[in-house]
Chains A and B, each alone.
Chain A
Amino acid sequence: MTSVSPSLTLGAGIRLFKGTEDCYVSTNDISFNGLKKILEKALDIFNLQISDNRIIPEINLEPLRDYGVLKNKNNWLEAKPPVHEICETLLACNFKQQNTKHLHSSTTSGFRDCQEVLVASSDGIFARDIRLYQSLSAQVSCLDGQHRASCHKRIGDSGNAQFYEKMNINNLTEELAETASNMLHAEFVTSGNYPVVLANQFGGVIFHEACGHLLETTAVQRNSTPFANKKHEKIAHHNLTAWDEGFWENGFGSIDMDDEGMPSQKTLLIENGVLRNFLSDRTGHLLTGHPRTGSGRRQNYSYAPASRMRNTYIAPGNFTKEDMISSIDHGIYCKSLGGGSVSSTGDFNFAVEEAWLIENGKITKPVKGATLIGQAPDVMQKISMSGNDLQISAGFCGSVSGSIYVTVGQPHIKVDSIAVGGRS
């Protein structure tokens, strides 16, 4: 063990709305004086003052909606395993990775994040939630002469105190060893436009980045999405349907309520290629008119909530992986994706951690150094086949309201043509 590092965070924030304007002030001093100070600061921003020196306005809060009680979560903190058991799991995982051929280094890290969230607002919302997120991340780096390869995999879930006890570290370490071994001596991919098959599970990051972010009202209100005025219009291939679910049992992005106290919802984003809904929070609703979807999320009290994704996935279709591979003469199979990003212009890029060449309808040899590059509106029209093997994966998403836990997911999908950046 190189470190065990607890972090204890406590704080509060207040958001004021004046018309469609809002401001947010936060502090980690939650004493009466600390809270009074941020209230006064927020009022001062709008040139307002507390009338008649009253601190508590006359609002009728609903009876506390306590998801700790309603969902029987209050015992999670007691039920979770002690730190030394987590350490044993990490050490066991790291030990198994020693079997990786040409291993240079391996790291396994785990975390557990317990949050208690309380929301009160002047429209009467008064709600409490308890959240438990746990994750394990493993990374191997292999070295053979001048050849280097590194790959990593993360698993994670929420609301499952027994996460570490139930995980299968054998699968994780074997997959990593296989990927590293495949990529170590692989040739660099030749740049160009290819038909591509993206694997299920973490392959869903492409939809998350290339489309999901552009369907958040945070992007609509900043005029930074090409889909702003496309509701009820066809924005994707007719074979594509996509959802963002607020609650998926043990999903890494699951929440019972959002950070504005609204119960989470299952939101249909795209139905057979037609844009059906945006993900909206309170500010997004005020500024764009799109109805709230229980998507107001943030890393912690130091950020104002913003519309963010939760468990986002492309719905399964009728095709098999083999259908897709066999339909391609010369293309790329992206078995494992790394991170990605999208800009306001809709340009996106993704690193491919493990890629294979498809030749004459068959997966042949590994290639490395591939990056998928494209324009979101363009690539959405080119997702022509969705497989029948939907799987989800845990991830982190960084945006205006900090880093939050999300699920990405998809079945195998085929993109008819996409630019692949390489080195030769």
Chain B
Amino acid sequence: MTHFIATIQEECKNISALLNINKYDVFVAIKEDIAASAKDKNPFALNASSRIFVTLRVWNSEGQVGITNTSNLTHDGLVLAFEVALNSAQFCNTSTKYDFSPLCLDPILSSTAEIESQSTSIQELAQAAVECESAILNAHASIKSVPYNKISQVFLEHCYFNSLNAFRHQKTSFSHCYFYPLAQEENKIPRQLGHNSIANNFKTLSYLQCAQTAIEKTKNHLNYEKVTTGKYMVVFSPEAFLDLVGAFSNFFNAQNILDKKSLSTTDTMNTQLSSDFLNIMDSPLHEAHIGKSFFDEEGTPTRELSILENGVLKNFIHTSYTAQVFGTKPTGHTALGSKLTAHVHFLRIFANKDSQNQQEPNKNSTHIYIENVKALHAGINALQGSFSLPFDGFIVNGEKRTSIESATIAGDFLTLLKNIIYVSPLEKVTSSGICTDIWVNDLSVTGG
């Protein structure tokens, strides 16, 4: 594809000259993926796709910027995209001054960083999916199907270039699988738990182990009880807490603050948002992060960024535009969508081991363990800071753990941060980040 990217680069140069466009930048995303599922011990839903998307920004003579993306990469398609972007630039607010990232020419770890990948056939994925589905179906009489299961292999190639001759390019790959068995015993309600795994490629993907974990999780919830509605001490699993922080990431997102769509304001910087034993950082280059990006969609190198340090808000994530407004440097978090937005890469949430205020809670006291939260798109109101989410979990009473039939947990995110009473020192690597068990006091749980 390197030749293809050079062709696109040359096309963009010629078209911009033809249209008298002096300033532009381009982000190219190339994705090749294959995926397979299994149904009744046969291959099912075999898919493959090959897609290339180009997102381009052009500046008009007034300094206004227009953005367009296209998947039509013929000469005519690219000309149209440049023309459309130029036309849309006239609607850009003249008081908003966009520019290239000031770091787009800075060196990165490797300007053509490549991650070793191995090719796999879709038949191999299908065979593995059937093997896993069969193992799950044979594992327990109550498991009658695995409605959601999939193994995929994805190759990605990203490239950024601009009219200043900045050029970034990287290849990466990952392989992903998930299995969600559906179990039902007589006179009981159906139960569905699952697990997902990710690796750099299919050869290193632990799909059978993933299936085994899905079996164990499902079996753990076959015998369940109703939970009494009330306030509880709650322990979030690493996966559940990462989901929650991700859903409320507007509290450290500079673009959201400018849009007044954040739980923070500029004044929130350096204030204590949680107890002093909680740390949150974004670690895009962490060795455990599969499919890491070395630069964002404006060509800014990605880097580690401390967000919450001992409970104090230390940094916002920035695009080049918000960095310019806030008088700081971009942090490598830009995504080019309908407008510039910032997003986190790979959160690491961990305990401040130096804190004197943290005391290990009595783990034998009655509490609720939340294995995973569900339906975030429906149960999160990120602007209000409120959440009300169904979850899978357990009532823990001493040594006894009993699955909860169905329940929701509700609260206010900023209050939750304040009510954290313990951050376990045991960090767990998940597909979306690294986190520990987080203990929170006084959360409302409604039984179904």
Contact = CB atoms under 8 A, between A and B. Distances in A.
B444 A424 contact: yes
Interface in B96-131: 96, 122-123
B140 interface: no
A38 B123 contact: no
A345 B189 CA distance: 8
A223 B379 contact: no
B378 interface: yes
Given A5-B339, A107-B259, A421-B446, A302 B51 contact: yes
Contact of B84 (A6, A25, A149, A224): A6
Nearest to A341: B375
Interface string A11-55: 101000000011111111101000001100110010100000000
Contact of A11 (B51, B192, B259): B51
B326 interface: no
Interface stretch (A254-262, A366-374, A386-394): A366-374
B182 A344 contact: yes
Contacts of B68: 5-8
Contacts of A84: 91
Contacts of B93: 1-2
Interface stretch (A62-70, A129-137, A272-280, A347-355): A347-355
A148 B43 CA distance: 50
Interface string B181-207: 010000001111000000000000000
Contacts of B45: 22-24, 304
B381 A224 contact: no
Contacts of A339: 377-378
A118 to B, nearest CB: 15
A326 interface: no
Interface string A346-383: 11011100000000000000000111011100000000
Contact of B192 (A9, A41, A344): A344
B337 interface: yes
B88 interface: yes
Nearest to A205: B378
B409 to A, nearest CB: 8
Nearest to B66: A4
A364 B358 CA distance: 45
A317 interface: no
Contacts of A350: 378
A402 interface: no
B383 interface: yes
A371 B379 contact: yes
B410 A27 contact: no
Nearest to A21: B43
B351 to A, nearest CB: 28
Most buried by B among A13, A304, A341, A351: A351
A226 B188 CA distance: 13
A347 B50 contact: no
Contacts of B70: 7-10
B73 A374 contact: no
Interface stretch (B12-20, B144-152, B268-276): B144-152
Contacts of A192: 229, 446
A191 B51 contact: no
Contact of B408 (A7, A304, A345, A421): A421
B42 interface: yes
Contacts, number: 219
B85 interface: yes
Interface stretch (B278-286, B327-335, B385-393): B385-393
A10 B71 contact: yes
Nearest to A1: B91
A26 B50 contact: yes
Most buried by A among B122, B389, B448: B448
Interface string B35-47: 0000100111111
Contacts of A369: 386, 388, 410
Given A346-B190, A373-B406, A373-B446, A4 B180 contact: no
B190 A27 contact: no
Given A1-B91, A141-B260, A419-B446, A27 B50 contact: yes
B411 A423 contact: yes
B357 interface: no
A386 B411 CA distance: 33
A226 B190 contact: yes
A422 interface: yes
B135 interface: no
A223 B92 contact: no
A221 interface: yes
Contacts of B411: 423
Closest 6 CB pairs of A and B: A105-B260, A224-B147, A223-B145, A5-B338, A23-B46, A150-B383
Given A23-B48, A148-B385, A191-B444, 19 more contacts: A6-B84, A6-B85, A11-B51, A13-B49, A27-B50, A28-B53, A28-B72, A83-B91, A105-B259, A191-B410, A222-B145, A341-B374, A341-B375, A343-B374, A345-B190, A345-B191, A371-B379, A373-B408, A375-B448
14 contacts: A2-B93, A3-B339, A8-B71, A10-B71, A23-B45, A26-B48, A42-B48, A83-B88, A222-B39, A223-B147, A341-B378, A344-B180, A351-B378, A371-B388
